[in-house]
Structure 1
Amino acid sequence: MSFWQLRNQFYDLICFNVNQVYAWKPDFEKNNLTRWVKQNLLVKLRNSWYSFPDYLKTPNIQNFVSNKIYSPSYVSLHSALAFYGIIPEAIVQTTAVSSLKKANFENVFGSFSYQQILPGLMFGNEQKTFLNKYSLLFATPEKAILDLLYLYPQYNSEQEIIELRFDEEFMQNDLNVEHLNEFTEKFQSKVLRNRVNLLLKIHDLC
């Protein structure tokens, strides 16, 4: 089988894995993938996952790749907060939340980090359209905030939360406080409730 046959079959998926290849061609020789990576015809994303170098310059491709190579997961934490303009920092690493164990991956598309959360807390995400025909899972602003406060124990004082430098205009005009409180109750965590109360107090939202 030629590389171009594989490309024609999987290019539109952006990312594909070895199992998909075997389902298509059961007698496929896996060594072909290694050879095509060495020839820069393919990009290896992690064990068994591949993409095409043509996509490297696609805007926001990291968010789509993040969803695909470690599932179930959704983009959250610092990446989502930066996307919504809640924090000022430019985020180099793509951060996500998953019900699987913590993981980190590096490839030519970037650095990908996954924090573990209980399966019952995998809510508060929505599908966003990507390149007009794909979708990816992304935390809502409120859930991204809660994931951060829940998963990073250092944010346990008023000063630490102030130093997050959440955008005041967003907090006053765009944050859905009702959703934030509803989501907080689902965590059933007094520690998180206290942190959220501090956040609301700092921004005069309670």
Structure 2
Amino acid sequence: MKKVIQLPAEFDYNLLIQALEGYKKPRDKIRGLISSGEILRVKKGIYVLGKHYGKPYNKFILANLIYGPSYITGQTALAFWNMIPERVELVISLTTKRKKIFETPVGRFSYVVGPEKVFGLGVRLEDAGSRKNILIASPEKALCDLAAMQPNIITQKAMREFLGLMRLDDHFHNALDFTLMKEIRDGYRRKNVKLLLDCLERSDV
């Protein structure tokens, strides 16, 4: 059991098997650990430690593990950067694979599809503590991704209203890298992303 305690809060099947290498029947041991609540199966091949280990899991790390390649974006990333006041329970990520939603014992994880051309633009590797990192959209990329997710927004007025509803922090505008945002816009080639840039450059929000 000492080997199980040495596991990080979030781990995959391969790491779990390594931790249980001293057992003759590690798969049986895994079933027992799940039954006792010592580990929790998030989805096939992904686990977290039980509460009594005192190692809280990180949903953002799990989001990167559950489905990839992917990075955290949209309202989830904006909340991470303290750009919006609301706490976002749904973890939103962008992937170049198929759209997916995972309902898990630890929360809901949504994966939207984005073009490969812009996938790596404006994505950061951020420290998540405990010598772990997460892939997450920069504020600029999160805004562009979020705009791209709004197919019904086709006018500047609608975009201004949408941005107003998000209640973005008053200081966010001056910190934005518009050169990066233009590069993302050109990669997306979507009207709603262009409308976002037009509104922000004119200080309409």
- TM-score computed with the length of structure 2 as normaliser: 0.81
Per mean C-alpha deviation after superposition, the further-off stretch among 149-158 and 18-27 is: 18-27
Structure 1 letter corresponding to 2:183: E
Q: 2:166 is paired with a residue of what secondary structure?
A: coil
1:191 and 1:76 map into 2 onto residues whose CA distance is 17
Q: Give, in angstroms, the shift of residue 4 of structure 1.
A: 4.0
Mean Cα deviation higher: 41-50 or 20-29? 20-29
Q: Residues 49 and 84 from structure 1, CA distance in 2 versus in 1: closer, same or farther, beyond 3 angstroms?
A: same
Determine if the alignment matches structure 1 residue 170 to structure 2 residue 172: yes
Which residue, out of 128, 134, 137, partners 1:136?
A: 134
1:32-181 equivalences under 5 Å are 32-54=29-51, 58=56, 61-123=58-120, 124-157=122-155, 158=157, 159-171=161-173, 173-181=174-182
CA contact (8 A) 2:39 2:48 kept: yes
Among candidates 12, 19, 23, match of residue 17 of structure 1 = 12
Shift of 1:93: 1.4
Tell me: CA distance 1:34–1:125, structure 2 relative to 1, closer, same or farther (3 Å). Answer: same
Unmatched segments (≥5 aa) in structure 1: none
Aligned with 2:171: secondary structure? helix
User: What are the superposed Cα offsets for residues 1-41 of structure 1, whole Å, 9 maximum, x if unpaired?
Assistant: xx444444xx03x3222344557759754343232112011
**More moved, 38-47 vs 86-95:** 86-95
Give the deviation of 1:191 after TM superposition.
4.2
- Once residues 17 and 66 of structure 1 are traced to their aligned partners in structure 2, the CA distance between those partners, rounded to angstroms, is 13
SS across alignment from 1:100: coil
Q: Distance in 1 between matches of 2:102 and 2:31?
A: 18
Name the Cα RMSD after superposition: 2.7
| Partner secondary structure for residue 166 of structure 1 | coil
Distance 1:44 1:191, change over 3 A: same
Contact 1:168 1:203 in 2 (8 A): no
CA contact under 8 A between 2:144 and 2:196: conserved in structure 1?
Answer: no
Contact 2:17 2:26 in 1 (8 A): no
The residue that corresponds to 1:189 in the other structure is: 190
TM-score normalised by the chain length of structure 1: 0.81
Structure 2 residue runs of 5 or longer lacking an equivalent are none
Task: Measure how far apart 1:67 and its partner are.
Answer: 1.1
Q: Take 2:43 and 2:144, find their aligned partners in 1: how far apart are those partners?
A: 29
Query: How many Å separate the matches in 2 of 1:133 and 1:43?
Result: 22
| Residues matched between the structures, number | 197
Question: How many percent identity over aligned positions?
Answer: 22
